[in-house]
Chains A and B, each alone.
Chain A
Amino acid sequence: MSEMAVTQNDLRVAPAARAPGDEVFKWLTLVMALSIFALIILIGWELFEGSKVALHRFGWHFLVTKDWDPVNEKFGALVFIYGTLVTSAIALLIAVPISIATAVYLTELAPLWLRQPLVIFIELLAAVPSVILGVWGIFVMIPFLRDHVFPLLQKWFGFLPLFQGPIYGVSMLAGGIIVSIMCIPIITSVSREILRSVPGLQREAAYALGATRWEVTRIAVLSYAKKGLYGAVILGLGRALGETMAVTMVIGNTPQIVASLFAPGYTLASVIANEFTEATGRVYLSALFELGLVLLGVTVLVNIGAQLLLKTFAGPTVKPQH
């Protein structure tokens, strides 16, 4: 920037410096850039304002209360926090190994002619809106899971409490699976960027020691990129926690805490989506605002973690994609 400063000084004596537009333009663009800060303050402020009634009434107990009873105005977030955590955990369990393996395939193994088309496919998957995935989830995935996959899981793993109980189709497991489909493109493309930024010398050194391709990947690439890959996974987590439409359509929307993954559940985002317009009464609406505040707090923290990990790993070259 220092040479720019010199240019500016020189311009002060040049005739063009009299152009009145310069200062105006600079200030105009500055105000627009500052709008980013205004937006984040606006988000926090509106949610906080809206939640005041609930915050005042329930305090910290809100986070650990199981009840969600609009009739008697008793509200707690625990059931929804539980549902959100379970679906996100399932989603990451599925998405992380698959995404990282795919990223490895894309950067290390796939024949060159295949890489670009595969990347395009993954971008197209990322472009599928949540609501369309939800439509597909309701009418195609749920019947398939209910009739074929879930009974099989119950037969094999039925001794675990996770896979017991009646099968409805709509369930926390289905929610987790649909969220995993939404997370895979982001985790894959960010991981791919990270693996691509691993210096080629790393690989060559490992090859020179007689390592096989997998060994090169494990020793030279994956362990080198570990920190960045954590960043990619946490970015995926942030996405999973806030996923709304597709989950709402397949999770069954029942506020309960049960061990079985075949049972319907409810997430923070989906209860807001379902009940916000029906909320009657100040306390009910305010409780929903507070659920939004909880969701915001968690996702912002998770995203800060992801951004810091990604930035320390690779500087500005790795651009997180959403």
Chain B
Amino acid sequence: MTAPNHRWRQFKNGLMQSIACGCAILVVTPLLLIYFHLIRYGLSSLNWAFFTQLPKAVGEPGGGMANAMVGSLILLAQAVVIGVPVGVLGGIYLSEYGGTQFNWWVRFIADIINGVPSITWGIVVYGLLVVPMHGFSALAGGVVLGFMMIPLVMRTTEEVLQLVPGGYREAALALGISRWRTIVQIVVRTALKGIVTGVLVALARIAGETAPLLFTAFGNLGWAHSLKEPIDSIPVLIFNYAISPYPDWHRQAWAGALVLLLFILIINISVRFVTRDRLRKQP
């Protein structure tokens, strides 16, 4: 017995399935196009000078992004110095000490902060550091990235610490080891891979941040000699080059974008290798 509308239902079924499949293809297309064009336009401008030289003045061909690469690394290093201790220790409190209600609020606020547009972070640190220090500085850029890292690291740290079996803690406490050493030497060590993964993911996310650096680290076509000076970074340089009217700078922007994306891709891939671990939740 076949219902009278059986054919129509089958047709609709097939149609909706094809639409869903089509949408999945549509989602992947921009990714492939971006990688394709980055390689096509960016690869030809990558050479030794690109990694070792300073930007040249308009009209002079050649030059590179050495200062921006070093600048980006300095900014990221500052962000790690600020974001990792605060984030990891805060995550430890949430996992090991915090009560249900306190944790709910911290998680809630952390998720809200994660959703704050990065450009507003730039304004905040402008008011906090750039105005009192009378100028843009590498320090302000590092602080803004560090602040953005805190909620990211705290959330992932809490999550991986909770995956550590309670028996580990009890066993250590039963041996007479104090609570804090139990946490540091047993719990954190067991979950270390997960914590490192969380830090790397956060790093990959802030490595491409541009908007908050525009009016904190600002940019600098030469070397910055101290943290009190403005400093260049790859994302900001890409932006400035891309909106300029000079074809030579456009080529540099493509090359910079390729380098930045490869950097982020490498972090993401290495995270994938690290996470093939028993302590991660299976997807």
Contacts and interface: CB of A to CB of B under 8 A. Distances in A.
A317 to B, nearest CB: 10
B19 A15 contact: no
Contact of B239 (A11, A134, A215, A269): A134
B238 interface: yes
A149 interface: no
Interface string A118-137: 11111111011111111110
Interface stretch (B24-32, B55-63, B73-81, B190-198): B24-32
Interface in A99-126: 99, 101-102, 104-106, 108-110, 116, 118-125
A176 to B, nearest CB: 14
Nearest to A136: B34
B34 to A, nearest CB: 5
Interface in A21-55: 21-22, 24-26, 28-30, 32-37, 39-40, 42-43, 46-47, 49-50
Tell me whether chain A's interface is mostly helix, strand or loop, or mixed. helix
B28 A118 contact: yes
Interface in A1-35: 1, 7-8, 11, 14-17, 19, 21-22, 24-26, 28-30, 32-35
A239 interface: yes
B164 interface: no
B116 A181 contact: no
Contacts of B117: 241-244, 269, 295-296, 299
A320 interface: yes
A16 B178 contact: yes
Tell me whether chain B's interface is mostly helix, strand or loop, or mixed. helix
A43 B116 contact: yes
Contact of B21 (A105, A132, A299): A105
B116 A97 contact: no
Contact of B27 (A28, A125, A215): A125
Contacts of A239: 115
Contacts of B26: 98, 102
Contact of B115 (A11, A109, A213, A322): A322
Interface residues of B, number: 100
A265 B218 CA distance: 25
A320 B119 contact: no
26 contacts: A19-B179, A21-B178, A22-B179, A24-B180, A28-B89, A33-B91, A34-B90, A39-B147, A46-B124, A50-B123, A98-B26, A124-B265, A124-B268, A128-B208, A135-B253, A138-B242, A214-B12, A215-B9, A217-B16, A239-B115, A272-B119, A303-B112, A303-B116, A319-B159, A320-B111, A322-B205
Interface of A: 1, 7-8, 11, 14-17, 19, 21-22, 24-26, 28-30, 32-37, 39-40, 42-43, 46-47, 49-50, 97-99, 101-102, 104-106, 108-110, 116, 118-125, 127-136, 138-140, 181, 184-185, 188, 212-215, 217, 235, 238-239, 241-245, 249, 269, 272-273, 276-277, 288-289, 292, 295-296, 299-300, 302-304, 306-307, 316, 319-320, 322
